[in-house]
A and B are shown apart, each in its own frame.
Chain A
Amino acid sequence: MKYKKFLFFIMIPILCITLQASNPESSQAFSSQVIQQGAVGEDVIELQSRLQYLGFYNGKIDGVFGWGTYWGLRNFQYEFGMEIDGIAGQSTKEKLVQASNYDEQYVKEQINQGNKFTHYGGTDNKNQSDQGGGGSATEDNASTSVNVPQGYSQNDIQLMANAVYGEARGEPYVGQVAVAAVILNRVESPTFPNNASGVIFEPRAFTAVADGQIWLTPNETAREAVLDAINGWDPTGNALYYFNPDTATSSWIWTRPQIKKIGKHIYCK
Chain B
Amino acid sequence: MIRWIIIAVLAIGITGTAFWGYQEHQEKNAVLIQAENTYQRSFHELSYHVDLLHDKIGAALAMNSGQRLSPQMVDIWRLTSEALSNVGQLPLGLLPFNKTEEFLSNIGDFTYRTAVRNLDDEPLSDKETNSFEALYKQSGDIKEELRQVQHVVLDNNLRWMDVQLALANGEEQVDNTIVDGFKTVEKTVEGYSESNVDSPIIGTSSQEHTYKGITGNKISEEEVLEKGKKILDVKDANKLNVTRSGDGADVPTYSISYKDDRKSAYMDITEQGGHPITVLVKRPIKDKQISLNEGMEKAQNYLAEYDFKDMDLFQSSQYDNIGVYSFLYSQDGVRVYSDALEIKVALDTGDILGFTARNYLMNHTERDIPSPTLTEDEAKQAVNQNVEIQESFLAVIDNDLGEEVLTYEFLGVMGNETYRIFINAMDGREEKVEKLDGAEANYAMNS
Q: Which of B58-92 contact A (CB under 8 A)?
A: 84-85, 88-92
Please name all residues of chain A whose beta carbon is closer than 8 Å to the beta carbon of B413 when the two chains form the complex: 67, 71
Q: Which residues of B contact A2 (CB under 8 A)?
A: none
Please, which residues of chain B bring their CB within 8 A of the CB of A104?
none
Please list the 8 inter-chain residue pairs (A to B) with the smallest Cβ-Cβ separation, ordered nearest first. Answer: A257-B248, A204-B93, A33-B291, A190-B105, A173-B282, A67-B418, A174-B266, A203-B91
Give every chain B residue within 8 A of A154 (Cβ-Cβ): 440, 442-444
- Given known A-B contacts A39-B292, A68-B416, A202 and B101 have beta carbons under 8 A apart: no
Q: Pick from A4-12, A93-101, A122-130, A231-239 the stretch touching chain B.
A: A231-239
Interface flag for B436 (CB, 8 Å): yes
Q: Given the complex, which residues of B lie within 8 Å of A257, measured CB to CB? A: 246-248
Give Cα A251–Cα B447 distance, bound, in whole angstroms. 46
- The CA of A41 and the CA of B321, in the complex, are separated in Å by 10
B216 at the interface (CB under 8 A from A): no
Q: Which of A146, A172, A194 contacts B266 (CB 8 A)?
A: A172
- A47 touches B (CB below 8 Å): no
**In the complex, what residues of B have CB within 8 A of residue A190's CB?**
101-102, 105-106, 108-109, 205
B291 lies within 8 A of A38 (CB): no
B437 touches A148 (CB 8 A): yes
Taking CB atoms and an 8 Å cut-off, the chain A residues in 19-72 that contact chain B are 33-41, 58-59, 62, 64, 66-68, 71
- The smallest C-beta distance from A56 to any residue of chain B, in angstroms, reads 13
A232 and B359 contact, Cβ closer than 8 Å, known pairs A38-B292, A38-B318, A143-B442: yes
Instruction: Confirm or deny: B210 has a beta carbon within 8 angstroms of a beta carbon on chain A.
Output: no
Known: A87-B293, A193-B88. A150 touches B280 (CB 8 A): no
Q: Which of A144, A193, A198, A233 contacts B356 (CB 8 A)?
A: A233
Asked if B418 contacts A232 (CB within 8 A), the reply is no
Q: Which residue of A lies closest to B417 (CB)?
A: A67
**Is A145 at the interface (CB under 8 A from chain B)?**
yes
Chain A residue numbers with a CB within 8 Å of B319 are 146-147, 224, 227
A219-269 contacts to B, CB under 8 A, are: 221, 224, 227-228, 231-235, 237-239, 249-250, 252-253, 256-262, 268-269
B338 within 8 A of A: no
Partner of A172, one of B84, B96, B257: B257
Contact B248 A259 (CB under 8 A): yes
Is B259 part of the binding interface, using a Cβ–Cβ cutoff of 8 Å?
A: yes
Contacts of A259 in B (CB 8 A): 245-246, 248-249
Nearest-neighbour CB distance to chain A for B361, whole angstroms, equals 11
Q: Which residues of the partner chain B approach A64 to less than 8 Å between Cβ atoms?
A: 439
Q: How far is the CA of A267 from the CA of B294 in the complex (A)?
A: 37
Q: Which chain B residues numbered 316 to 359 have a C-beta less than 8 Å away from chain A? A: 316-319, 322-324, 326, 340-342, 344, 354, 356, 358-359
The answer to whether B385 has its CB under 8 Å from any CB of chain A is no
What are 5 contact pairs spanning A and B, CB under 8 A? A38-B316, A203-B92, A204-B94, A232-B340, A235-B280
Is B164 close to A, CB under 8 A? Answer: yes
Q: When the two chains form their complex, are residues A202 and B88 in contact, meaning their CB atoms are under 8 A apart?
A: yes
Q: Fill in one digit per residue for B241-261: 1 if any A CB lies within 8 Å of its CB, else 0.
A: 001011111110101010100
Residue of B nearest to A147 (CB): B317
Q: A138 on the interface (CB 8 Å rule)?
A: yes
Across the interface, which residues of A come within 8 angstroms of B439, CB to CB?
62, 64, 66, 145-148
Q: Which residues of B contact A170 (CB under 8 A)?
A: none
The answer on a CB contact under 8 Å between A146 and B442 is: yes
Bound-complex Cα distance A235 to B341 (A): 14
B278 lies within 8 A of chain A by Cβ:
yes
B370 within 8 A of A: no
| B5 interface residue (CB < 8 Å to A) | no
Q: Is the CB of B318 within 8 A of A40?
A: yes
Residues B248 and A146 in contact, CB atoms below 8 Å apart? no
Is B406 part of the binding interface, using a Cβ–Cβ cutoff of 8 Å? no
Select A204's contact among B164, B249, B318, B340, beta carbons within 8 Å. Answer: B164
- For the complex, give the distance between the alpha carbons of A32 and B305 in Å: 27
Number of residues on chain A facing chain B (CB within 8 A):
75
Residues of B within 8 A of A37 (CB): 315-316
Encode A134-150 as 1/0 by CB contact (under 8 A) with B: 01101000111111111
Residues of B within 8 A of A (CB): 39, 84-85, 88-96, 98, 101-102, 105-106, 108-109, 164, 167-168, 170, 205, 207, 243, 245-251, 253, 255, 257, 259, 264, 266, 268, 277-278, 280, 282, 288, 290-294, 296, 315-319, 322-324, 326, 340-342, 344, 354, 356, 358-359, 390, 413, 416, 418, 434, 436-446
Decide: A62 near B266, CB < 8 A? Known: A234-B358, A252-B96. Answer: no
B207 touches A145 (CB 8 A): no
**Distance in Å: Cβ of B107 to nearest Cβ of chain A:** 11
Of the candidates A38, A198, A250, the one whose C-beta lies within 8 Å of that of B85 is A198
Other A-B contacts than A33-B291, A204-B92, 10 sampled, CB-CB below 8 A, are: A58-B416, A66-B437, A71-B413, A174-B266, A190-B102, A202-B89, A228-B280, A231-B324, A233-B278, A237-B251
> How long is the Cα–Cα vector from A227 to B102 in the complex, in angstroms?
29
Which interface residue of B92, B170, B266, B438 has the most chain A CB atoms within 10 A? B438
> Does A82 reach chain B (CB closer than 8 Å)?
no
Q: Name B313's closest neighbour in chain A (CB-CB).
A: A36
Closest residue on chain A to residue B442 by CB atoms: A146
- If A191-B105, A257-B246 touch, whether A174 touches B438 (CB-CB below 8 Å) is no
- Whole-angstrom distance from the CB of B176 to the nearest CB of chain A? 14
Residues from chain A with a CB closer than 8 A to the CB of B318 are 38-41, 147
Residues from chain B with Cβ under 8 Å of A227 in the complex = 319, 324
> A177 at interface (Cβ–Cβ under 8 A)?
yes
A147 x B248 contact (CB < 8 A): no
Whole-angstrom CA separation of A224 from B259 in the bound complex? 18
Which one of A41, A136, A174, A268 contacts B264 once the chains associate, using CB atoms below 8 Å? A174
Return the contact of B248 from the options A40, A234, A256 (Cβ within 8 A): A256
